[in-house]
Structure 1
Amino acid sequence: MTTKEKIMDVALHMFSERGYEAVSIRDICGEVGIKESTLYYHFKNKMDILDSLIAKFKDHINGLLSHIDEMPQMPSGKTKKKNAGSTDIIDSYMMDSYLFDPFCNLMIRLMMIEQFHNEEMRALYEKTMFTDPYDIYLRVFRMLATQGTFPESQVDAIVRRYHAYMTMLTYRYLLNGELTEERKKVYKKEVHALMNGGVI
């Protein structure tokens, strides 16, 4: 990890626990173990660190969305396992590459705090926690409807129920206290149960 990456990593941990305003340049430098002049070599100021974190997060999310956009259509006809394709997509994109990812998880926690102080963070929080997931679920369940899992007329209602339940699980297990392997395991189990006959 480079010095610049370490500064960003330490700052993110501190911002996501205390909030942006409560953390000083001196705090970050003390935790990283560098002089303030070293930090200013890499960043103009504290806001520059936050802007860099936001840019990195946006790049990551845009990369995930582009992969989902390029995802091949599921084959027609029912799969051997109910919702198999959608479970794979949720596991890969929504869990492993997003909600379980330490960087993304800390960014969500930071956005939860800063949405009240920073309009860009509020908009990003709304987009990545509500709008984007809803659109992804809509795409996935429309594909499932085309293979006969359920009638197309039910898709909107199913997605609304699914999104609401997934949001509850996310807040309960992934954004409530420390993100542990046990919490991730329980979350995944609950999601799979949901995909295979719970709410939907």
Structure 2
Amino acid sequence: MNTTKERILDVSLELFSQRGYSAVSIRDICKSVGIKESSVYYHFENKQNIFDVLLDRFSEIAKGMMAQLENGLTEGQNSFSDGINTVSNCFFEQYLMNDFCNRVMRIMFIEQFNNENVRKLYQHWLMDEPLNFQSKIFSVLMSIGIIPNCCSEYLAVKYYAPIYFYAQKWLFNGELTEESKEAFRIDAYKHIQMFFGEVGGYNG
């Protein structure tokens, strides 16, 4: 059901992701939704409350995605490469290219320069959590002999840095389109294949 509260959130998400949180006013939101300013305060205390709800929803999705990733390499996979593809698909399709998550990430990227809490959230979900997960995976792969022993933290950065770069190039720079998604997939999966071709254990 597209309630007024949800429409306020949807419109706010769109406007924040285009202009940044700081550049959007309650008046802007109300004009786009087609309601009086007083109507907003029936659902939200203020603009910050709207922003907080969006960030909380994003964090819940991100937590669920990370839980999926934890199981991605071990549940029902026929091979190591199947597991890598499953994990990559989850992270790419359900997170970086998910319409809601992508818009919130855009907002966080803009607002990290103005808001310390947003900066920490951006770093946590776009850098720290992916790197910690990947480091853990590389440690497991080394322990079972799939890849040679090395510094798992270094491998995590070497693996993730190009993916983060391609995400910035294709997914957070301009409108998110099917063409930009496909361009990201091509570059990201090519990198993954080359990366594991170098360290061992991946056949495409």
TM-score by length of 2: 0.86
Match among 162, 172, 175 for residue 175 of structure 1: 172
Corresponding residue for residue 194 of structure 1: 191
Corresponding residue for residue 87 of structure 1: 85
**Do the aligned residues in 2 keep the contact of 1:115 with 1:125 (CA within 8 Å)?**
yes
Q: Distance in 1 between matches of 2:191 and 2:167?
A: 13
Alpha carbon RMSD of aligned pairs, Å? Answer: 2.3
Corresponding residue for residue 15 of structure 1: 16
Are residues 1:106 and 2:103 paired?
Answer: yes
Matches within 5 A, 1:44-83: 44-71=45-72, 73=74, 79=79, 83=81
Deviation at 1:154, TM superposition (A): 5.5
Q: Distance in 2 between matches of 1:118 and 1:154?
A: 33
Corresponding residue for residue 132 of structure 2: 135
One-letter code aligned to 1:91: N
**Do the aligned residues in 1 keep the contact of 2:138 with 2:156 (CA within 8 Å)?**
yes
Q: Distance in 1 between matches of 2:109 and 2:167?
A: 13
Q: Distance in 2 between matches of 1:61 and 1:87?
A: 19
Q: Which runs of 5+ in 2 are unaligned?
A: 199-204
Match among 153, 163, 166 for residue 166 of structure 1: 163
One-letter code aligned to 2:191: L
**Do the aligned residues in 2 keep the contact of 1:173 with 1:183 (CA within 8 Å)?**
yes
Corresponding residue for residue 41 of structure 1: 42
Sort the Cα spacing of 1:142 and 1:18 in 2 relative to 1 into closer, same or farther, 3 A: same
Percent identity reads 36
Sort the Cα spacing of 1:151 and 1:21 in 2 relative to 1 into closer, same or farther, 3 A: same
One-letter code aligned to 2:74: Q
One-letter code aligned to 2:87: I
Q: Distance in 2 between matches of 1:20 and 1:39?
A: 16
TM-score by length of 1: 0.87
**Do the aligned residues in 2 keep the contact of 1:99 with 1:174 (CA within 8 Å)?**
yes
Q: Distance in 1 between matches of 2:131 and 2:97?
A: 18
**Do the aligned residues in 2 keep the contact of 1:111 with 1:125 (CA within 8 Å)?**
yes
Sort the Cα spacing of 1:85 and 1:70 in 2 relative to 1 into closer, same or farther, 3 A: closer
Higher RCO (Cα < 8 Å, 6 or more apart): 1
One-letter code aligned to 1:34: I
**Do the aligned residues in 2 keep the contact of 1:114 with 1:122 (CA within 8 Å)?**
yes
Q: Distance in 2 between matches of 1:16 and 1:56?
A: 15
Corresponding residue for residue 30 of structure 2: 29
**Do the aligned residues in 1 keep the contact of 2:16 with 2:24 (CA within 8 Å)?**
yes
Q: Which runs of 5+ in 1 are unaligned?
A: none
Sort the Cα spacing of 1:174 and 1:117 in 2 relative to 1 into closer, same or farther, 3 A: same
Shifted more, 114-123 versus 144-153: the winner is 144-153
